A = this chain, B = another copy of it.
């Protein structure tokens, strides 16, 4: 039986000089200079150089070296030595070595070349060994933690709502059908209606989970299965939930900036370091500015990625656009004067990462907005009925988690931010 890892590679520093450690991971590189041999060991957190020397290293370890291949799984016990020559100023002299699994030559290069995305996604589990991917997904986990900490701090309760549903949330038709025993059901495109209903009991709720859109267009920023961070709060307006989302944005930027050096090492240039505020730009002002810059945009139009990028010059890497024309927003959005609505989008690095609004909390208003959009209130009766029994004013947002990562890490395709993407043509691995 092999011993337990005592350290991650990132924890091996010159201060440990003379200490015995146990490391586990994969053979990243092998170099045989005759009397001196090197193994570069990779684990999730980084690399360490193992140095083998004739006369110093036990015979059976030297023998194992000759049989090693790249990506073999090894555990090593050894002594740390500070070193002027080794990378990061430290190396480990093995006293014992266990080869726990052998690896065949990989089907794609993870060391020097970056194969095309299709090849990488085909062999995704192997591709994920690439240090760049390890950095993206360990950081993603940290970002999730930051998001939840803000929401817990604001007394939101984490919930799970069903992903198998019988009616469309927003009346659209782009749903994936599921055969649920004897009937046809659908995959949920959003927890919107559930989270609104939950404000009548749990008041402040959030959910982080999958959402499904059967959209046929295949772009760099769309996925058919994505992770949505949904929050909704009773007795709050869209300004209040923007405060929450602004806190999240600032925390995420800070978390990313802490890892800037490490990210740059693996070829990622995150968009910005810390930010002190996320400006709230009225839709009218945004349209005026864009017109001034020569964009063909008229009041009532949605803004596209190019326009949203152009506005960064004025408002920085993260800004809100607020008070969209009501016609651009879903039926449950509260109106304000002048055909506008109490709504907003959060734009980071030109990408729309979140949308939110104050919602309508009165049944009659809600039915009226449905009719305006050609939706039949009868089809939403089970949802509308809840509004008869004490629905509080409420507001919330939906944040596309994969897009957020794409935006803050400045990735050129949302698929880089998803372990196993699902799109128009891809349903495996």
Contact = CB atoms under 8 A, between A and B. Distances in A.
Residue in A104, A386, A389, A392 with the greatest tally of chain B CB atoms within 10 Å: A389
Nearest to A214: B181
Contacts of A73: 390-393
Contacts of A198: 125, 128, 419
A170 interface: no
B158 A144 contact: yes
Interface stretch (A134-142, A258-266, A406-414): A134-142
Interface in A65-81: 71-73, 75
Contacts of A419: 159-161, 194, 198
Interface string A260-301: 000000000000000000000000000000000000000000
Nearest to A181: B424
A177 B427 CA distance: 13
A61 B18 CA distance: 77
Interface in A193-247: 194, 197-198, 200-204, 209-210, 212, 214, 216, 224-225, 227, 234-235, 240
Interface string A9-31: 00000000000000010100000
Contact of A134 (B44, B185, B202): B202
A379 interface: no
Contacts of A26: 390, 392
Interface string A395-429: 00000000000000000000000111010100111
A182 to B, nearest CB: 10
Given A125-B197, A134-B201, A176-B179, A104 B209 contact: no
A137 B161 CA distance: 12
Given A185-B427, A390-B26, A152 B145 contact: yes
A302 to B, nearest CB: 26
Contact of A107 (B106, B187, B224, B389): B389
Given A71-B389, A177-B179, A362 B138 contact: no
Residue in A198, A225, A427 with the greatest tally of chain B CB atoms within 10 Å: A427
Contacts of A155: 8
A176 B225 CA distance: 17
Nearest to A423: B181
A103 interface: yes
Contact of A103 (B8, B44, B388): B388
A280 to B, nearest CB: 18
Residue in A4, A160, A204, A209 with the greatest tally of chain B CB atoms within 10 Å: A160
Contacts of A227: 160
30 contacts: A8-B155, A44-B204, A73-B393, A100-B392, A101-B393, A103-B389, A103-B390, A125-B197, A125-B198, A125-B386, A126-B200, A126-B386, A126-B389, A128-B200, A141-B158, A145-B152, A160-B227, A160-B419, A161-B419, A162-B420, A165-B427, A176-B178, A176-B180, A178-B178, A178-B187, A181-B424, A194-B419, A198-B419, A210-B210, A382-B428
Given A44-B203, A165-B427, A194-B420, 19 more contacts: A2-B235, A24-B235, A26-B392, A44-B157, A44-B204, A73-B390, A100-B393, A125-B386, A126-B389, A128-B202, A138-B157, A141-B158, A145-B152, A161-B419, A161-B420, A163-B210, A164-B176, A181-B214, A382-B429
